[in-house]
Structure 1
Amino acid sequence: MPRKTYTVKEVANLLGFSTNTVYKYLDEGKIKSTRLGSEGRFRIPDSEVSRLLQEVGLKSPAVQPQTNYLLPPKIVQGISSVKKNYGVPSLFDWFIGFLSIGLGFSQFILPSYNLNSSILNYLSVIRVLQGLLFVGGFFLISFDILKLKKDFWHKLAHIVLGLLYLTLSIMLFVSGSVPTAVGYFSASFVIFLTTQKHFPEYIRFLVYCATLYTLTGISIFIWPNKLLPVWSTNIVSGTLIPFTIVWSIGFVGLTVLGYLSVKKGGWSIKTLGVLITILAFAYAVLSFVNGYWERSIYAVTLGSFAMIFPFAEHFESFTLKSRREVVGSFAWLMGIFIIGSVVLYFVYRTFQTYSLSELANRAETASDILSTFMVGNVAKIAAFSGSNDVVNMMENQSKLTSGELDSHLRQIYQLSNDTLRRVVLVNDKGVIVNTYPFYPQSQNVDIAPRDYFTDAKLSEGTYITGIIKPSSSGIPPTVLISSPVYDKDHNFLGVLIGDVNLRELERRINQVKFGETGRVYVVDSNKKYVIGPTVDSVMQQVSN
């Protein structure tokens, strides 16, 4: 037996519209209703519901004369056949579909793993899976538009895409790309969840955002150095307490807004959409400027749909279009999407070319600083070793007091302008006679077997070591420059050694900035760090 009246929510469910759309038609007078009191709730009579259902080609509880069409008659005539093939698009499916298309398409125009050596073993497999993502996303949206055996094909598309996202998340996680792996896993989790139980579109999107936000926060706690460099440096060098507070406040705020948006809608759903969009676009910019093209595509898609979901009722207009019009609309959206991606690609390439050119210029500047520093030291040691003062000092070393030797070496040291950490005088037997600044542990140490003594003596020229650990105890790893000293008859008198001030070299090189966290490392001919990431890395072999 037909009911006499229906609520707004019941009418919305029967028509497949949102409650906001029904309220809009009530305000415009396109749906007849009564109200319980002057400000009470709307009640739509059974006759009006029957008329509306007949207009959209659905079975109505009672057949009433069709008058005062809510929809134009020409469209109403075609709706019955259109409704059998498709209806209101699934926004979450479109989000997953466009995300999959974007991630897959990004691999064809700019692979994001070409600079990540740890993922080279999986590169060919990942590219195949990314290509399958592109195909899967296209078919998911196509099935949603055409509703071809909707239940079977949609579930199949969800399962296939869920498996692709899960497999990629595992491979990316193993290779060390944690942020990207978190995004892929969040998508796979919600896709698999919705295959088991149907959730409203907006609820699915909120679950996805909550999963992504939660897993990102957890990954920062466990693997802070796996995030973008500008974040990881701040976190590792500081404390996690400020981040914990900010992350917790954000989590509570987003949770409260999510609850209000589901229960009340209105301003809360729009506010949440704006916040998610701001966070996503900020992450996209950071990813873009740091060269993470794939993460940028991911974040832009997320931010775009976060702004679309609050206006989901506008997608109901798709129910009023023919199949050709819907396919045309989809093709138009795809065209815009692809054109936008290509434009972004060329923008990125231009930015990358400029950045690489700028980096090359700065690297060349750093190289010039290193060359000037070392060549200057070599020239100083060679000049000092051939000076009359040093020759006289070596010829009369047995007659000079330690104070007089210090005085001569001090002059050489001061003329180096902090480019030398210490000056060492060695006799013809390979025994250290004196050092400045004075270092008692090195006095009378025999260095005759060392290459910086023997090679300087045999080559009769200046010799530069790689990074070495001096024989004297307590002296950190260093680079030594040695030059032989001869009298006027070319008799070998000894060797003058300069201990290069690596800290001064590091200070000068680091005046050349490479972004917020970029640094210059110096490696010797044996592939050992001279200036490395940490103090402990000096003399360590550079990993391939």
Structure 2
Amino acid sequence: MPKTYTVKQVAVALGFSTNTVYKYLDEGKIKATRLGSEGRFRIPESEVTRLLGERQAVTPPSPSEALSGVERAKEGSTEDNTLSLLNRVANPDLFDWFLALTAVFVGLTEFLYPLSYQLLSVDPYRSLVLITKILLILAGPTLIAVDIFIPAKKTAHHLLSRLPLAAGFAVLAFINTITNQYLNVAPLSILAIFSLISILWHKHPIFRFLTFLYLVSLTSAFALVYQPQPILFADLRYFISSTPGLFIVLASAATTIAFVICFYASRVSRPIFTFCLWAISFFFLLVSLSKLTDQSWTKAIVYLCIAAFCFLQPISEHIESLSHFTRRQVLIAFIWMLCIVALGVLAVYTIQSSYRRSILSTVNQNSLAAARLIDNFITDSVRTIGSLSQSPQVAPSNLTDFLKESYLANSTLRRLLIVSSATGEIIASYPPYPADLLPNLAGSPLADQPPTTLLSYLSPPPTQDSSPAIYISSSINADKLTGVLVGIIDTVKLEDQLDDLLSSSSSTYTLIDSRNRSLLPPDSSAPPSIPGQSYPRVGYSSAGVLSFLSSSPIKPYQLTILVDQPYAQSFRTASIVSFSVFLVTLLSGIGGLLGAVYFSSRKP
């Protein structure tokens, strides 16, 4: 049989006078059962729990309202129950659980995939974002602690417990606004607003939660107009961009109809209401999973929490009340859950740090291997050019045949040229190339090699007309021919070898000369400056993409190979794994706590 309390017990527990309790009973604000037409009221424990959570002010009972001796005699046997009630705790509102857990999970995203890593524009606010998310991780448990351990709360208690949540969500919404991340702004701003509204709005929890869902869905639809993205498995970006007005009308109508149906079902049919909320829960779960694929952790976390509490809302009445336990029991359970959350955060941080070090090590090894490959490739070409320039077969009468045989005998050169030292003109080349399309090397260092210099290395371009390439030159030591043998390294083959070397990873590379010019790939955009940087490290590539960076010098030729691996692509698996570990840790802690409660409640 459900446990009940008398008017006096409830008055003492709430700090009301008995007259006030009777007044609320007459007005229907307190639900109770009356024993006979003139019998005493019996107030169920579920109603007392609700009142303890909603009490805003406490007024001590006046002496004139004390029980008479007869009443004390009749109710003396229930004094222990009254003391037991006062020693117990309040059951937090389900929406407070939602706000608290969402705050913890949103704060956790700083360890999964920091916002400053996703957007270069957030980098100036990195410290503020970190402080705000740590605040959210601490504010979530604080809200639950106040709800549980201060049953009769004043407005100041609600204000102090919810203000940090509202401030944290508002700051994140502001930062996302100035960085044009409107799809993050939509749920964060509504969370901030409802954190403040919850200071005074405690009644009608179902209507409050449905209103929250409605506003989140509506503002997200408006955000899609400014920042179109695919919705689940449908790519509606063209439709949204071309007809934003029609999209807003359709989205507003759909969300409004869903809100009205859910609210009406909550009043007339519990099964239909449950079905509607579970359908909404499934929808938000799919949206959350879709956001995980592109590492949009803030949206994914918020939508996942919404999905979870949409599922719990219809069955919340069947969840066992905390008021069945003493303060000591709940305090132990609360400390246990704090330790579990801390352990989960530590596990996420450890996994992320370990994986980050592993990727940096891999990228560094890739850069070293790429540097060795380029060094060997260029060294082979240098040796080939040096040997050919000293060949006795070099003669003015057979230059083309000599270049053809030399070209076919090696695999590292794309073209061979012989340049006259006197005029700077190209007097022979292989493979054949129209003379008017060959670069004019007059006055360039290639055409002015002193006879005593066997080998020299020049990085491109030697003239403004020549395409980016790696040139190797050596003075020709032959009778009746004063010139320079020039070889152009086959960068296509070099790129193929580098691609094969890095095929097992998502790394890309940039070969830079001593003047910070990109040789591979030949790109007009300026590569990042290498001097003074510490490698390997996490930084932004020349394209402005956050990456794992590592560089290795090729000292004999004054070159540097820079290898970068995009952070988001590299860390997708690590982020999902670490978040899964956090969820498993949290669920294991909850499961252990429920198991302890179950076995401790069993009678021997």
One fold, TM greater than 0.5?
yes
Q: How far apart, CA to CA, are the structure 2 residues paired with 1:97 and 1:367?
A: 51
Verify: 1:438 aligned to 2:433, yes or no: yes
Q: Which amino acid in 2 is paired with 1:520?
A: Y
For the structure 1 residues 470 and 212, does the alpha-carbon distance in structure 2 shift closer, same or farther, using more than 3 Å as the test?
farther
Contact kept in structure 2, 1:53 and 1:59, CA below 8 Å: no
Verify: 1:137 aligned to 2:137, yes or no: no
Q: How far apart, CA to CA, are the structure 2 residues paired with 1:410 and 1:59?
A: 94
Q: How far apart, CA to CA, are the structure 1 residues paired with 2:505 and 2:200?
A: 46
Query: Aligned runs of 1:473-492 on 2, under 5 Å?
Result: 477-487=467-477
The Cα shift of 1:163 comes to 2.9
Which deviates more, 348-357 or 333-342? 348-357
Query: Aligned runs of 1:63-78 on 2, under 5 Å?
Result: 77=82
Q: Which amino acid in 1 is paired with 2:278?
A: K
Between the two proteins, the alignment pairs up a number of residues equal to 460
Select 1:81's aligned residue among 82, 86, 109. 86
Q: Which amino acid in 1 is paired with 2:441?
A: I
Aligned twin of 1:537:
525
Q: Which amino acid in 2 is paired with 1:270?
A: W
The Cα shift of 1:421 comes to 3.6
Select 2:288's aligned residue among 277, 280, 283. 280
Q: How far apart, CA to CA, are the structure 2 residues paired with 1:360 and 1:123?
A: 26
SS of 2:157's partner is helix
Contact kept in structure 1, 2:107 and 2:137, CA below 8 Å: yes
Verify: 1:268 aligned to 2:273, yes or no: no
Q: How far apart, CA to CA, are the structure 2 residues paired with 1:379 and 1:174?
A: 57
The Cα shift of 1:147 comes to 4.7
Q: Which amino acid in 2 is paired with 1:412?
A: S
For the structure 1 residues 186 and 205, does the alpha-carbon distance in structure 2 shift closer, same or farther, using more than 3 Å as the test?
closer
For the structure 1 residues 207 and 530, does the alpha-carbon distance in structure 2 shift closer, same or farther, using more than 3 Å as the test?
farther
SS of 1:520's partner is strand
Contact kept in structure 1, 2:183 and 2:224, CA below 8 Å: no
Contact kept in structure 1, 2:517 and 2:527, CA below 8 Å: yes
Aligned twin of 1:121:
124
The Cα shift of 1:459 comes to 4.3
Verify: 1:451 aligned to 2:445, yes or no: yes
Q: Which amino acid in 2 is paired with 1:384?
A: L
For the structure 1 residues 377 and 184, does the alpha-carbon distance in structure 2 shift closer, same or farther, using more than 3 Å as the test?
farther
Deviations 1:478-510 (A, max 9, x none): 123222233258x98212222334344334323
Q: Which amino acid in 1 is paired with 2:470?
A: L
Aligned twin of 2:213:
206
Q: How far apart, CA to CA, are the structure 2 residues paired with 1:177 and 1:58?
A: 41
For the structure 1 residues 243 and 157, does the alpha-carbon distance in structure 2 shift closer, same or farther, using more than 3 Å as the test?
same
Q: Give identity over the alignment, percent.
A: 18
Contact kept in structure 2, 1:57 and 1:79, CA below 8 Å: no
Contact kept in structure 1, 2:458 and 2:470, CA below 8 Å: yes
The Cα shift of 1:336 comes to 2.0
Aligned twin of 1:505:
494
Contact kept in structure 1, 2:225 and 2:240, CA below 8 Å: no
Contact kept in structure 2, 1:523 and 1:530, CA below 8 Å: yes
The Cα shift of 1:461 comes to 1.4
The Cα shift of 1:283 comes to 4.0
For the structure 1 residues 420 and 104, does the alpha-carbon distance in structure 2 shift closer, same or farther, using more than 3 Å as the test?
same
Deviations 1:80-115 (A, max 9, x none): 5378x73x4223322332333445567689977579
Which deviates more, 192-201 or 305-314? 192-201
The Cα shift of 1:426 comes to 0.6
Q: How far apart, CA to CA, are the structure 1 residues paired with 2:41 and 2:82?
A: 16
Structure 2 stretches lacking a partner, 5+ long: 1-27, 52-77, 266-271, 530-541, 545-604
For the structure 1 residues 337 and 367, does the alpha-carbon distance in structure 2 shift closer, same or farther, using more than 3 Å as the test?
same
Q: How far apart, CA to CA, are the structure 1 residues paired with 2:401 and 2:368?
A: 39
Deviations 1:359-380 (A, max 9, x none): 3444444444433433333333
Q: Which amino acid in 2 is paired with 1:151?
A: T
Q: Which amino acid in 1 is paired with 2:517?
A: K
The Cα shift of 1:446 comes to 4.5
Deviations 1:175-228 (A, max 9, x none): 687776666445335545666867645325524752685477456538x9xxxx
Contact kept in structure 1, 2:420 and 2:426, CA below 8 Å: yes
For the structure 1 residues 96 and 212, does the alpha-carbon distance in structure 2 shift closer, same or farther, using more than 3 Å as the test?
farther
Verify: 1:337 aligned to 2:334, yes or no: no
Q: How far apart, CA to CA, are the structure 1 residues paired with 2:93 and 2:220?
A: 23
Q: Which amino acid in 1 is paired with 2:217?
A: A
SS of 2:339's partner is helix
The Cα shift of 1:152 comes to 3.8
Select 2:94's aligned residue among 91, 95, 114. 91
Contact kept in structure 2, 1:453 and 1:495, CA below 8 Å: yes
Query: Aligned runs of 1:306-385 on 2, under 5 Å?
Result: 308-315=312-319, 317-385=321-389
Compute the RMSD of aligned alpha carbons: 5.2
Normalising by structure 2, what TM-score?
0.60
Q: How far apart, CA to CA, are the structure 2 residues paired with 1:100 and 1:59?
A: 24
Normalising by structure 1, what TM-score?
0.65
Structure 1 stretches lacking a partner, 5+ long: 1-11, 17-30, 33-44, 61-72, 225-230
The Cα shift of 1:254 comes to 9.2
For the structure 1 residues 504 and 55, does the alpha-carbon distance in structure 2 shift closer, same or farther, using more than 3 Å as the test?
closer
Q: How far apart, CA to CA, are the structure 2 residues paired with 1:336 and 1:164?
A: 23
SS of 2:103's partner is helix
Contact kept in structure 2, 1:284 and 1:299, CA below 8 Å: no
Q: How far apart, CA to CA, are the structure 1 residues paired with 2:222 and 2:37?
A: 49
SS of 1:537's partner is coil
Q: How far apart, CA to CA, are the structure 2 residues paired with 1:334 and 1:355?
A: 32
Contact kept in structure 1, 2:421 and 2:447, CA below 8 Å: no
Q: How far apart, CA to CA, are the structure 1 residues paired with 2:50 and 2:161?
A: 30
Q: How far apart, CA to CA, are the structure 2 residues paired with 1:364 and 1:433?
A: 39
Aligned twin of 1:151:
155
Contact kept in structure 2, 1:55 and 1:76, CA below 8 Å: no
Contact kept in structure 2, 1:260 and 1:269, CA below 8 Å: no
Contact kept in structure 2, 1:530 and 1:538, CA below 8 Å: no
SS of 2:228's partner is helix
Q: How far apart, CA to CA, are the structure 2 residues paired with 1:257 and 1:46?
A: 44
The Cα shift of 1:528 comes to 2.4
Contact kept in structure 2, 1:359 and 1:514, CA below 8 Å: no
Contact kept in structure 2, 1:460 and 1:484, CA below 8 Å: yes
Deviations 1:354-409 (A, max 9, x none): 433443444444444433433333333333323333x32xxx1xxx4xxx654443
Structure with larger RCO (C-alpha < 8 A, sep 6+): 2
SS of 1:142's partner is helix
SS of 2:433's partner is coil
Deviations 1:328-367 (A, max 9, x none): 3332322222222222333333433443344344444444
